[in-house]
């Protein structure tokens, strides 16, 4: 049994090609002003035609391994959280595992934008139980492959990215102090892909209607997130034995700047306490949390001993939070 588990290393990757709001103005009836004022987004990244989710995931994982000062031979388990696997099967985690030459079990976890918090929770449990020592958790998505480019209410929001972390044993009192996961399946129709699964087979007619792309009730999701995420945040901070004022940085799923601002207000957090990268990268599903965490750490926004609160929400409807006492 390990006393505790922490993020020993983090890494991330974003594709080179940028789509700006001006680019989107040429595709749908929208404006830079509308997108910035309603979402806070100015740019997002798009994977190249030859890149699949596993390619983004592999680079992020290599960077997390280097940051952790570990090699593929040190990894005992691979978890990949994605809603855009390279293909229905095999699991994208197995593809990444093969790419990196890791000899360890691997599986995918599908939980939309909450994927990283779910993956981290599984990894933390594996490590603390002593079942596996170094667990690689990767969140990667090419959301632009499941975007309806004729729907202005969704296509301006999404981008492609990957983030990864190696979860390993650490001394007691550090690392993951608490986590909470939630799932409200009754709200599943707020965000889904209508066809292409075992319920509705994809036909040429449904393809013409873009039924293989994301369909979202944005305003309702907004209301649910603004209410439920701060409530969960308060619970998980108490579970960690802390008060909200002890939290040095909040790294939250980057769905909309207005959701982050509303959560900050509800939690009475001062300006800048909720880290945001939404302006440059948009919403890349579960990747937003590990990408933001990696960027925040390498910018010097997180130091050893800091308390970091991770928050996620997304398709399912699922939500999750974790408190980490950073040690590196
Ligand atoms: N450009 C210009 N106008 C637009 C655009 C656009 N891109 N999109 C919508 N509009 C229009 C609508 O047509 C509507 O016009 P109308 O009043 O004439 O009918 C008006 O703007 C307002 O539309 P709303 O949908 O009510 O806009 P809202 O202010 O709610 O913002 C948004 C929409 C940004 C999607 C917001 O609801 C949101 O961020 N919701 C949460 C999304 C989210 O959290 N997703 C999470 C998970 S994502 C994942 O898991 C992959």
Q: How far is the CA of 219 from the centre of ligand 1 (A)?
A: 6
User: Where in the chain is CATH 3.40.47.10?
Assistant: 4-173, 177-325
DSSP 173: T
DSSP 260: H
Q: How far is the CA of 154 from the centre of ligand 1 (A)?
A: 7
CATH code: domain 4-173 is 3.40.47.10
Q: Tell me the best of 31, 38, 183 to mutate to test the pocket of ligand 1, counting ligand atoms within 8 Å of each CB and taking the most.
A: 38
DSSP 73: G
Q: Is 191 in the pocket of ligand 1 (CB under 6 A)?
A: yes
- pLDDT of 271 reads 87
Judge whether 134 counts as a catalytic residue: no
Q: Considering only CA atoms, which of 106, 11, 95, 97 is closest in space to residue 54?
A: 95
Residue-wise pLDDT for 237-279, tens only, equals 999 999 999 999 999 999 999 999 999 999 999 989 999 999 9
CATH topology of domain 177-325: Peroxisomal Thiolase; Chain A, domain 1 (3.40.47)
Q: Is 283 in the pocket of ligand 1 (CB under 6 A)?
A: yes
Tell me the C-alpha to C-alpha distance, in Å, between residue 261 and each of 38, 285, 310, 328: 12, 19, 15, 29
Q: Tell me the best of 53, 222, 285, 287 to mutate to test the pocket of ligand 1, counting ligand atoms within 8 Å of each CB and taking the most.
A: 222
Judge whether 113 counts as a catalytic residue: yes
Q: Is 255 in the pocket of ligand 1 (CB under 6 A)?
A: yes
CA 54 – CA 13 distance, rounded (Å): 11
Q: Could you please report the per-residue DSSP string of 204-255?
A: HHHHHTTTTS-EE-HHHHHHHHHHHHHHHHHHHHHHTT--GGG--EEEE--S
Q: Tell me the best of 192, 219, 262, 289 to mutate to test the pocket of ligand 1, counting ligand atoms within 8 Å of each CB and taking the most.
A: 219
List the chain residues with pLDDT less than 70. Answer: none
Omega cis (within 30) before 90: yes
CB 50 within 8 A of CB 178: no
CB 67 within 8 A of CB 10: yes
- pLDDT of 248 reads 98
Q: Is 110 in the pocket of ligand 1 (CB under 6 A)?
A: no
Let me know if 48 is exposed, middle or buried by CB neighbors in 10 A (0-12, 13-18, 19+): exposed
């Amino acid at each position: 049994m390990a006393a505790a588990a922490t993020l020993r290393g983090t890494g991330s990757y974003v594709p080179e090609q940028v789509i700006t709001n001006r680019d989107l103005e040429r595709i749908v009836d929208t404006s830079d002003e509308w997108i910035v004022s309603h979402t806070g987004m100015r740019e997002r990244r798009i994977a190249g035609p030859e890149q699949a989710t596993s390619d983004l995931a592999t680079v992020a994982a290599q960077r997390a391994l280097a940051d952790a000062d570990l090699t593929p031979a040190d990894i005992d388990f691979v978890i990949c959280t994605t809603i855009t696997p390279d293909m229905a099967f095999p699991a994208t985690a197995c593809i990444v595992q093969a790419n990196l030459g890791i000899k360890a079990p691997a599986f995918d976890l599908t939980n939309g934008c909450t994927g990283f918090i779910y993956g981290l929770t599984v990894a933390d449990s594996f490590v603390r139980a002593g079942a596996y020592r170094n667990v690689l958790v990767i969140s990667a998505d090419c959301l632009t492959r499941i975007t309806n480019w004729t729907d202005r209410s969704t296509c301006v929001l999404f981008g492609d990215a990957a983030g990864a972390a190696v979860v390993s044993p650490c001394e007691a009192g550090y690392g993951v102090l608490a986590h909470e996961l939630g799932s409200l399946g009754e709200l599943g129709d707020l965000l889904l892909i209508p066809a292409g699964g075992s319920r509705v087979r994809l036909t040429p007619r449904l393809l013409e209607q873009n039924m293989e792309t994301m369909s979202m009730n944005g305003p309702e999701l907004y209301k649910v997130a603004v209410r439920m995420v701060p409530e969960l945040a308060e619970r998980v901070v108490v579970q960690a034995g802390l008060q909200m004022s002890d939290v040095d940085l909040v790294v939250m799923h980057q769905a909309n700047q207005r959701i982050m601002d509303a959560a900050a207000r509800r939690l009475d957090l001062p300006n800048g306490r909720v880290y945001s990268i939404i302006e440059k990268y948009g919403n890349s599903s579960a990747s937003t949390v590990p990408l933001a965490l990696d960027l925040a750490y390498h910018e010097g926004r997180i130091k050893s001993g800091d308390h970091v609160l991770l928050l996620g929400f997304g398709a399912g409807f699922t939500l999750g939070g974790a408190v980490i006492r950073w040690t590196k």
